[in-house]
């Protein structure tokens, strides 16, 4: 009888711990935003506008839908600080293949980024959305992709 009671208590305790862990994990889970680059080899993201609350934690999962090799048509996803000139950033980035097309001198303008992906590859980044409302541009920094249209905007508002 004693043993049964102990076993029941042990099970109850284990169950409680399991429940607590699950609830905590859910509360901390970021909102997932799936973005595909180069669907049908078009130079754009299928999600060009992302709305988020100040300080929200999000996870951007980028998939490269292009069929071409990474060196010919890789794609990345780079979120920049508010007010950054994305054309100037893209121009500087184009010369820095060795850095995954992130310009060394403008690294401070990058809030979050998913590295360069080859065909059918996926990558992700989890980050906290800035607390200041406004428009934050994102782009693919592979040479010429942004100027053709591979860009978008993260809109932060309460």
Residues lying near Cu ion in the complex (CB under 5 A): 75, 140, 142, 145, 150
Task: State the minimum distance, in angstroms, from the CB of residue 56 to Cu ion.
Answer: 26
- Tell me if 158 sits within 8 A of 133, measured CB to CB: yes
Task: State the minimum distance, in angstroms, from the CB of residue 125 to Cu ion.
Answer: 16
> 134: exposed, middle or buried (C-beta count within 10 Å: 0-12, 13-18, 19+)?
middle
Distance CA 28, CA 25 (A): 5
Judged by beta carbon, residue 112 or residue 156, the one nearer Cu ion is 112
* Helix H or strand E encompassing 125: strand 122-128
Task: State the minimum distance, in angstroms, from the CB of residue 39 to Cu ion.
Answer: 12
Judged by beta carbon, residue 66 or residue 156, the one nearer Cu ion is 66
Judged by beta carbon, residue 75 or residue 109, the one nearer Cu ion is 75
Q: Which residue is nearest to Cu ion (CB)?
A: 140
Task: State the minimum distance, in angstroms, from the CB of residue 126 to Cu ion.
Answer: 21
Distance CA 75, CA 72 (A): 10
User: What's the CA angle centered on 153, arms 49 and 85, to 5 degrees?
Assistant: 160
Judged by beta carbon, residue 145 or residue 156, the one nearer Cu ion is 145
């Amino acid at each position: 009888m004693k043993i049964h009671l102990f076993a029941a208590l042990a099970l109850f305790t284990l169950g409680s711990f399991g429940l607590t862990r699950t609830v905590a994990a859910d509360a901390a889970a970021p909102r997932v935003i799936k973005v595909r680059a180069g669907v049908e080899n078009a130079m754009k993201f299928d999600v060009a506008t992302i709305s988020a609350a100040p300080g929200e934690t999000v996870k951007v999962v980028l998939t490269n839908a292009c069929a071409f090799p990474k060196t010919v048509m890789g794609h990345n996803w780079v979120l920049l600080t508010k007010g950054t000139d994305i054309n100037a950033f893209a121009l500087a980035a184009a010369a820095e293949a060795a850095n995954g097309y992130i310009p060394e001198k403008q690294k401070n303008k990058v809030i979050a980024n998913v590295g360069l992906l080859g065909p059918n590859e996926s990558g992700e980044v989890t980050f906290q959305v800035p607390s200041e409302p406004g428009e934050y541009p994102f782009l693919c920094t592979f040479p010429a992709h942004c100027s053709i249209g591979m860009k978008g905007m993260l809109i932060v508002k309460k």
